[in-house]
Amino acid sequence: MIAVEIIGGLFAGPGASDYLGEPVAIGVHMLQAGALAEAADAEDPLVAAALLHDIGHLTWERDDEPRAGLGGSSSRAGSAGDRHGEAGARWLSQWFGGAVTEPVRLHVAAKRYLCATEPGYLGLLSAESVRTLVWQGGPMKPDERAAFEALPHARDAVAVRRWDDAAKDPAVAPPGFAHFAPLLAALVRA
């Protein structure tokens, strides 16, 4: 399936690059997140969302039109870092429905939400996640929290966010992309 091949190429190519100062490459980070979702017995679309949550970092272009293979790098954290969820969801929507794309789109908002609603959450974030929080708008204000909570995929986005936060361990060797390829192929829209 061409969609899975294109996505796999991103993991093998730009996904092997450094991840915004984190201790693992971005592709490894996303594979760890997918494996954590799988270990939590999440439904397949949510496993896919966890696996693909940062794909916008790999498809980013300056004009904000994501294109496969033209990838973003960690050097663009200030521009892509705050919009990569939106860009990734938009790019993925050519193949996947909202159960996959919406948690991807909302995972940055979920970080802002958790910072505003969960005491101690901010202290759990990596130094890089704290730094990017500023670009992303900081903790949500009360009206933003209410709007976020009302979204159909908010709960899934929070789950993806938690796996995102936990998926930065250099001691963990996740399964390779091929492990997830059949799951993605089954979710691609006809």
Average pLDDT over residues 124-139: 90
What is the fold of 2-187? Answer: Hypothetical protein af1432 (1.10.3210)
Give the least confident one: 45-49, 58-62, 129-133, 184-188: 58-62
In this structure, how many other beta carbons lie within 10 angstroms of the beta carbon of residue 123?
A: 8
Q: Is the pLDDT of residue 183 over 90?
A: yes
Question: For residue 19, what pLDDT is reported?
Answer: 66
Q: Cα–Cα distance between 74 and 57 in angstroms, integer?
A: 8
Q: Cα–Cα distance between 46 and 33 in angstroms, integer?
A: 11
* Domain range annotation of the chain: 2-187
> Which residue has 């390779």 as its token pair?
176
Q: Is the pLDDT of residue 61 over 90?
A: no
b/e code 161-180 from CB counts within 10 Å (16+ = b): bbbbbebbeeeeebeebeeb
Question: For residue 190, what pLDDT is reported?
Answer: 72
